[in-house]
Amino acid sequence: MKIDLNWNSKNLTQGWQKGVNSFYYGLGFDDSDLKSPQVGIGTPLLEGNLCNLHAYELAQEITKGCKAVGLMGFPFGTPGVSDNISQGHEGGNGSLPSRNLIANSAECVITAHAYDAMVGLHHCDKNGPGFAMALARTNYPGLIISGGSIKPGCHAGRDITILDVYDS
């Protein structure tokens, strides 16, 4: 049994609706790219948060990995609210709702662009659940990948993490 990996995107790139292909050609695609499955790569874009600082770089690496195995990867941005920054003032009111914004924005992009799958980059405690909610709502195949831990801060000339605070 052959699995059709471009189960959704082919509705845009093949058949009667392939007039949209001129847009893809403008992005540098060729005819073989239009037969490739398309993967949306959700990434929280917020350089004001240590958790997400490297998110776009990781999305670019995933895009390269997609290309290497015959997939077309498309990074797209989602909101990101830092609990560390938002707590203790009115900004905290945006923390939990940001999870739903992440889910809504991911769902909007992957369905509107007829992607075949989604990869969500999880860097903070709302990104992962937000991407999981989008995958559950759409029933699309996908992955949620951890972006890893944040870089240590620097105090008095040495790297320090929350673990160092408790070791003292």
Asked whether the beta carbons of 44 and 121 are under 8 A apart, the reply is: yes
Cα 28 off chain centre by? 22
Print pLDDT tens along the chain (168 aa): 777 899 999 988 887 777 778 888 898 998 889 999 999 999 988 877 777 778 899 999 999 999 999 999 999 999 888 877 888 888 888 888 889 999 999 999 999 999 999 999 987 788 889 999 999 999 999 999 987 766 677 788 888 766 555 444
Distances (CA, A) of 70 to 29, 65, 142, 143: 13, 9, 16, 17
Asked whether the beta carbons of 116 and 5 are under 8 A apart, the reply is: yes
pTM exceeding 0.95: no
Asked whether the beta carbons of 24 and 33 are under 8 A apart, the reply is: yes
Asked whether the beta carbons of 78 and 113 are under 8 A apart, the reply is: no
pLDDT of residue 167: 47
The domain locations on the chain are 10-167
CA distance 8 to 118: 12
Q: For residue 73, which amino acid is it?
A: G
Q: For residue 39, which amino acid is it?
A: V
Q: Which of 72, 77, 68, 81 is nearest to 13 (CA)?
A: 72
pLDDT of residue 73: 97
Q: Which fold has domain 10-167?
A: Rossmann fold (3.40.50)
